[in-house]
Amino acid sequence: MRTDEIIERALGFGAVQNREELTFLLNFLIPRRIHHVLEIGTERGGTFSIWQEIATGKKISIDIPTSASPFVAQPERDLARFCLQRDDSFFIEANSHSDAAFNKVLEILKDESLDLLFIDGDHHYEDVYEDFYSYRMLVQHEGVIVFHDVMDTEEHRGQMNGAVRFWQELTGNKIETMHQYGIGILEVGG
């Protein structure tokens, strides 16, 4: 499937990311040959549909069910059915900060590492911080950690978005695309 088709599908499933930001992210990730993925904060499943197309290994989602979760409304239920019919897809309905969620990820990975950690869960600073520091050790040396909503905007300031502050404070080899919401990419070991 072509990049534009993957993005159209993700937007159709309810991805809340900006088209240009998703294009940038996919063009960055595809040459890296992503194998295992963990997404924190799946909501409607739009970005999870991207991992279904580009990742060759296990695709893991952690999210707390809400009225927007993939288990509630159309077309999200269609995505959930599609994903759950695959042996390589796992949905963990739990708070990402819980020991149960972390242990379930470990159980699924079976001593393997992540190539991609996508953090788009609760955007309070403390929650972004905890997601990063809890799960970063599962990312392999050449892997990447991606954050959504890292652009400093009036909307984000009004929402007290801690992802912006966390991204600004984070050090390392960072790449970002800022069109509407912002996607930040941290190269692990880079």
d(CA 151, CA 167): 9
What homologous superfamily is domain 3-187 in, according to CATH?
Vaccinia Virus protein VP39 (3.40.50.150)
* pLDDT tens-digit map of 145-172: 999 888 776 665 555 678 888 899 999 9
- Measure the CA–CA gap between 55 and 40, rounded to whole angstroms: 16
CA atoms of 137 and 116, how far apart (whole Å): 12
Long-range contacts formed by 164-171: CB under 8 A, 24+ apart: 165/125, 166/125, 166/128, 166/129, 166/132, 170/132
Q: What is the pLDDT of residues 40-67, one digit of tens each?
A: 988 777 889 899 999 999 999 998 866 5
Whole-angstrom Cα Rg for the chain? 15
The average pLDDT across 62-86 equals: 59
* pLDDT number for residue 147: 94
- Domain positions in the chain are 3-187
Q: How far is CA 148 from the centre of its chain?
A: 8
Q: Which residue has the higher pLDDT, 86 or 71?
A: 86
